[in-house]
Amino acid sequence: MHTRLLAIACLVTATTFAADALKVPAIPEGAIAKKKELLFSDDFERADLGKAWAIVVPTFSIEKGALKGTQTRFDAPAVVGQVGTGGVKPAVKGHQAVIGTDVPTKDSVIEFRFRLGGARSVTAEFDDRAFTGSHYGHICMARIGAQGIILTDQKEGGAKNEIQAMANDPAKKAERAKLLAGRSVTFPLQLDADAWHTFVLETVGDTMRASIDGKPVAFLQSPGIAHPTKSKVEFGCMGKDGFLDDVKIWNAEPVAK
């Protein structure tokens, strides 16, 4: 009996240490951002995307009053010596479908409805194309899937030029992992992929807080989030036929404590 209790105690202790190692931050119960002026809104009640939107990676369309994203770029190896050409078709790197709009912000609240449908995930992301310290000016993002949500500081994380350059160097693996610590966090979810949900992303200073259907679900504090010139907001869809609707973007300020 004593041996069994000792084994259970050791298991509990090991589990506690594992949880502590993950350093998943506590999620503030209340909002961290106070909405100011509405900067942008779109309910997609029309046939065409319009000038406000630019497709970054194909493809998007409007279907039944909602924005539909379908990933069409998938990993493919290079093909050498195609018949009749003698040339080389370069390898293709897979990428989710991405669409964006120019809405400059520093602190903000983004809200939209989404339905995963056949997609693996949908994303909301801030970029600054004028910033050259990270790949494509990526700053920070939220990725929502049926079983989890990820918040990421891309500017100081995986998109940072110095860290990205280490990705294919086995000798840099430990150093890269150390630099990435705390730059991304994953929280579990249980979402009905066929139902519509409402997502809210608050970005204030160096913090991001996400809510789904009025419930806080994720939080991250990391320095890259505080980038002052988030000039572009982008939305992504990984997989087939994910949907977004009723997109709204507000300027915001921190909630007084």
Residue 65: what pLDDT?
97
Q: Where are the domains of the chain?
A: 25-254
Residue 92: what pLDDT?
81
DSSP-assigned letter for residue 135: G
pLDDT band for position 12 (cuts 50, 70, 90): very low
Answering whether pTM is above 0.75, one says: yes
Give one DSSP letter per residue of 63-91, joined into a string: ETTEEEE---B--B--EES-TTT--EEPP
Tens digit of pLDDT for each residue in 157-168?
A: 999 999 999 999
Residue 24: what pLDDT?
79
Q: CB-based contacts of 248: which residues, under 8 Å, 6+ apart?
A: 38, 40, 41, 110, 111, 112
Residues pairing with 145 in the sheet? 121
Task: Measure the CA–CA gap between 243 and 198, rounded to whole angstroms.
Answer: 12
Would strands 119-127 and 66-69 be described as parallel, antiparallel, or unpaired? unpaired
Q: Which CATH class name applies to 25-254?
A: mainly beta
The torsion region of residue 179 among left (phi > 0), alpha (psi -120 to 50) and beta comes to alpha
Cα–Cα distances in Å, from 257 out to 30, 31, 33, 62?
Answer: 11, 11, 11, 41
Burial letters 99-128, b for 16+ CB under 10 A, else e: bbbebebbbbbbbbbbbbbebbbbbbbbbb
pLDDT band for position 200 (cuts 50, 70, 90): very high
